[in-house]
Structure formats: C-alpha cells, structure tokens
Amino acid sequence: MYGMNEPENSPEVHASDMQSADSAGALPHGRPPQTEFNDGRDYPRLGSFSFRRGTLTDNQEAMWEENWPQRGKVLSDEVIDLDEWFGRQAPGGTIVEVGSGTGTSTAAMAPLETDTNIVAVEIYRPGLAKLLGAAVREGIDNIRLVRGDGVEVLHRMFEPNSLAGVRVFFPDPWPKARHHKRRIIQTGTLHLIAERLRPGGILHVATDHADYAEWIDELVEVEPQLEYLGWPEDQSDIPVLTDRQIITKFEGKGLEKDHVIKEYLWRKR
C-alpha cells in the first residue's frame, strides 16, 4: 500500500482502478476516510492517492470476482471476526501485513505459518489480485486480504489486543521532507499497533532506505507499550516467523543499488 501511492496526483483513484459500486472489492468514490485521532501523536496523513496502473487481465478479473467475496474485505467500520472469517481458531494467532504490495513475500511465508492467520492489507488492487491469485492457485488457505489504508484498517477493523504480529516490509520512504508526515512509521502508528497487538505480540519492520532507517531509529523507544528488541541473533523466543524467505520486488531494487537492509523488532510488553 504505502509503497504504491504517488504523492502528487489527483485526489481520486484513477478511473481504471475503480470498479462499479456493486463490484467485489470496490473502493468508494472520493477521498478515503481518515480518522482524526487528536491524541497528540503523529499519524501518517496520506490525503489523496492515485495509481500508475489499475487494470487486471481477464483471467485476474474472473479470479477476483469468484474469490474476493470469501477472502477479501474493503475498509469499513466492521470489526472483523477473525475466527469466523478464517473458519478456525488459529493456534498461532493473526498477523497483519501492512502494505503487502504484490504479496510476493506474503505468499512465500504463509505456507510456513500454517498455524497462523495472515491478513494482507493493501490499497493497490492489482497487487491484491496477484496475491489472491497465488493463494488460490497454490491452495494457501491461511491468507485473507483487506483493501484500504493500513492505519484506518488497523484502527477500524481489528479489536485491541487481538493480533500476534504486525509486519511492515519496505514501506514507501517518502524521501522529500514535505512528505515525511506520510511515512507509516510515526508515533501514532506505533501506538495504534501496540494497542492492536496482544501481550507478547511482535512488530517487524524492514527498510532499505538509509534516511528512513534514521527516522525509525529516533522512534524505537517512543512507545512505552513496545519493548524494542533490535535484531537479535537468537530469535528462538520470538513467537512469529521473522525470516522473510525471499527478496521482494522493492528489496531487490534496493540491493541492486547496494542499499543496506535494516530490520527492527518490537514486542508488546
């Protein structure tokens, strides 16, 4: 999600990305809902958004229409009943991936986490379609998808103390200073994530952008509910899988430019 937005385009999603109001997974017209938290913390202010491409192939459209109603939801004020949606009580709990992009790492990790529910949150429909297609083709039953802004999805659709983990892999660095307020890692977002994590739950963040890493470094101790773990060599006592398994599209581009990957772990106290 946050890696797919373009900061200076029109205030609505391009027509190619919109579906008719009765289509599966359609976004409402106009500006997305944006909560005013008013708690003195900083939250990302995304404002308007649009996309470079929004169309799906005929096969993707058919797959989407058939499978989205069971596996996908659009941002709303519905608090998700996770046991009902996944059809089970997952022994490993539920992990939310904020900004799953095309879902490359999501689809690779989920089969290794069969005891865990995975919810991929993304606003970019073709990215969700690729992940949904991979889950259907490969019979991956522990992935569900939510289309919407990650902060709003966490705030509106998940109960406090309900998540085993939250992942934010290679979020958009918003490198221009005037766009730093749009970065997903903020004091408010860390607080919101902490509220949604259950005690002992893990937040895992990865970035290859040096300036963004410096930004995160300034925030690692800001949320009192989160114990900063750094990136310990021994991860045996961390109750969620932290190995991202494969190189994602954005990670690969960074490695080609000799970027250093920096990973962060926090645990809810």
Indicate which residues carry an active-site annotation.
172
Tokens of 103: 């879902």
Q: SS in 3 state form for 91-158?
A: CCCEEEEECCCCCHHHHHHHHHCCCCEEEEEECCHHHHHHHHHHHHHCCCCCEEEEECCHHHHHHHHC
What are the backbone angles phi and psi of residue 58, rounded to the nearest 5°? -60, -40
Residue 142 · residue 96 · CB < 8 Å: no
Residue 241 · residue 221 · CB < 8 Å: no
Residue 146 · residue 157 · CB < 8 Å: yes
What is the number of other CB atoms lying within 10 angstroms of the CB of residue 105? 23
Terminal CA-to-CA distance of the chain, rounded, Å?
Answer: 28
